Amino acid sequence: MPGQHGMPQIGKTWCLVMIRGTLTGQRYVDDILRPYVGPFLNGLPGAIFQHDNACRNTSRVAQDFLLHVQTLPWPSCSPDLSPIEHVWDRLKRQMLLCHSVHNLEVAVQDLWVHLPQDNIRHLINTITDGWHLLQQEVVQRDI
């Protein structure tokens, strides 16, 4: 089954990249970070990049590529703090049974293009609120 990687931002859902096969750290850099994420972030001064702690994301090659990119530190086991995880959850619930990889790709692309942007903005705002609460808890714990 292909993997999907998408980048939501406030105001619009941007890019969906379909990946076939295993996504290694090197493929993450070559197939996603370099062609899509790098140019996208270059157009957004001050942007903060967020990805989870999957091995490919924390690999040396990915860390080297992102050396000059501001990234959000990611707590372990915290998918609830990621807007994209909530988007994938919604997409999965809307998916019909697909009997081929091609049908799955077409269905995911169609659903991605038609995601209600108000829902995306709400998810991002909700996650932002969650991060602020988490930061307050960490500060209080460290006092």
Residue extents of the structural domains in the chain: 15-74, 76-142
Query: What is the reported pLDDT for 32?
Result: 94
pLDDT digits (tens, 9 = 90+) for 22-60: 999 999 999 999 999 999 888 888 888 888 788 999 999
pLDDT value for 2 = 44
DSSP class per residue in the chain:
--EEEEEEETTEEEEEEEE-S---HHHIIIIIIIIIIHHHHHTSTT--B-----HHHHSHHHHHHTTTS-B----TT-GGG-HHHHHHHHHHHHPPP-SSHHHHHHHHHHHHHT--HHHHHHHHHHHHHHHHHHHHHHHHHH-
The larger pLDDT score, comparing residue 88 to residue 139, is at 88
pLDDT in tens, 81-122: 666 677 777 777 777 677 888 888 888 888 878 877 787 777
- What pLDDT, on the 0 to 100 scale, is given for residue 113? 81
Q: What is the pLDDT of residue 121?
A: 75
Whole-model pTM over 0.85? no
What is the separation of C-alpha 139 from the centre of its chain, rounded to a whole number of angstroms? Answer: 26
Instruction: Give the per-residue pLDDT at 8.
Output: 46
pLDDT for residue 96: 67
Q: How far apart are CA 100 and CA 102, in angstroms?
A: 5
